Amino acid sequence: MPHRRHVLAGAAALALPALRPARAQAWPNRPLRLIATFEPGGAADQLARAIAAGMGPELGQTVVVENRTGAAGNIGTELVARANDGHTFLLCSTGPMTYHTILFRSLPFDPQRDFTPIGFAAWSPNIFATRNDLGWKRLDEVVAAAKAAPGKLNFGSAGTGTTQHLAGEMLQEAAGIRLTHVPYRGGAPALRDLLGGQLELLVTTGSGANMMREGKITPIAVMGEKRIAALPDTPTMQEAGLRDFSATAWYGVVGPAGLPAPAVARMSAALRAALTDETLIARMRDQTMDAQFSTPDDFASFIAGERRKWRPVAQQFAGTM
């Protein structure tokens, strides 16, 4: 896990071309890119766009969100790891930053070496949901149906190796059932197929929160440690009968390794301004997300702790990927 002092120690050798002109030059000096590894329209994409809009005025430059999906976030994450323009950043997520080194045999980036932490952005508890026409309202009903037809019911996720996928695997282990996993390139297309009848079950973040509140799909349980304000009547997995069950996703902002200290400080300040905006906080809460800010050092420590937490989970289910 790269501590900020380790990252900055190599800044002189790794100084980005855009940040070492012959004369002093203000940074940023052109629009920035915020890479989002999620399909447009989902909750994480909305988080990226809200952050970009909030950071722009503080940086004096437009922050453009660019969606690079695929490989459970690894494609967009690799793009930022290789960026050398000093103006490309990533809305990172749990998997690529923590346990993908275990699930994927060969990653084109090193999450401990190739990134500079900027700050935490939001918690996003996973939600286990189903179609209305199936008539299931409680977890025990889903479990009974799954046990009656092992492997016949399918669940969708935002992709192989995502926290939604691992949460689904954890659920099967904890409940003693067998489901068939159907991966998608993001939460939004999985939600569309649930509504279209191609899926029986879905593990999602906030993409379907509005449809759950409107009664178009049925939330079975929140997969975090506590209920969420957007769905106050939906129990947690623990309340539904699975003790000690928790599978919560999170998001943050990182840049490439070797990002100079002034750029880190500017980005951190801009991220703080975005994440403390009451409109953004309310908008994200509506999408089941809890927006929070942390310093670069605190975020680096948090990522290190998350690697330790997710490692045994990833090792347990690596053979199912």
CATH of the domain at 288: 3.40.190.150
Residue 126 main-chain phi, psi, to 5 deg: -75, 155
Over residues 167-195, the mean pLDDT reads: 92
Domain CATH number, residue 144: 3.40.190.10
Over residues 280-289, the mean pLDDT reads: 89
Last residue of a domain, one of 240, 257, 286: 240
Indicate if 118 and 259 belong to the same structural domain.
yes
If one counts every other C-beta atom within 10 angstroms of the C-beta of residue 106, the result is: 5
Indicate if 32 and 104 belong to the same structural domain.
yes
Indicate if 199 and 271 belong to the same structural domain.
no
> Would you place residue 132 in the very low, low, confident or very high pLDDT band (cuts 50, 70, 90)?
very high
Indicate if 301 and 160 belong to the same structural domain.
no
For position 161, what pLDDT does the model report?
A: 86
Last residue of a domain, one of 210, 240, 270: 240
Indicate if 44 and 89 belong to the same structural domain.
yes
Over residues 178-202, the mean pLDDT reads: 92
Identify the domain containing residue 136 by its residue range.
127-240
Q: CA–CA separation, 145 vs 276, rounded Å?
A: 44
Contacts of 144 (CB under 8 A, 6+ apart): none
In this predicted structure, which of 23-37, 157-171, 295-309 has the lowest mean pLDDT?
Answer: 23-37
For position 317, what pLDDT does the model report?
A: 76
Closest of 155, 137, 169 to residue 247, by C-alpha:
169
> Would you place residue 10 in the very low, low, confident or very high pLDDT band (cuts 50, 70, 90)?
very low
Q: CA–CA separation, 306 vs 303, rounded Å?
A: 5
Tokens of 219: 């939330």
Indicate if 115 and 254 belong to the same structural domain.
yes
154-157 vs 290-291, strand pairing mode? unpaired
| Cα–Cα distance list, 85 to 30, 51, 172, 175, 186 (Å) | 10, 21, 44, 48, 28
> Would you place residue 263 in the very low, low, confident or very high pLDDT band (cuts 50, 70, 90)?
very high
DSSP state of 66: E
Last residue of a domain, one of 215, 240, 265: 240
For position 239, what pLDDT does the model report?
A: 97
Indicate if 114 and 200 belong to the same structural domain.
no
Peptide bond into 28 cis (omega under 30): yes
Indicate if 8 and 120 belong to the same structural domain.
yes
Residues 259/117, Cβ–Cβ less than 8 Å? no
Q: Give the pTM.
A: 0.81
Q: Report the Cα–Cα distance between both ends of the chain, in Å, rounded.
A: 25
Indicate if 265 and 287 belong to the same structural domain.
yes
For position 104, what pLDDT does the model report?
A: 87
Domain count, the chain: 2
Tokens of 307: 């690697």
| Average pLDDT of the chain to the nearest whole number | 89
> Would you place residue 319 in the very low, low, confident or very high pLDDT band (cuts 50, 70, 90)?
low
Indicate if 32 and 107 belong to the same structural domain.
yes
Indicate if 311 and 207 belong to the same structural domain.
no
Indicate if 203 and 217 belong to the same structural domain.
yes
Residues 77/37, Cβ–Cβ less than 8 Å? yes
Tokens of 49: 């766009």
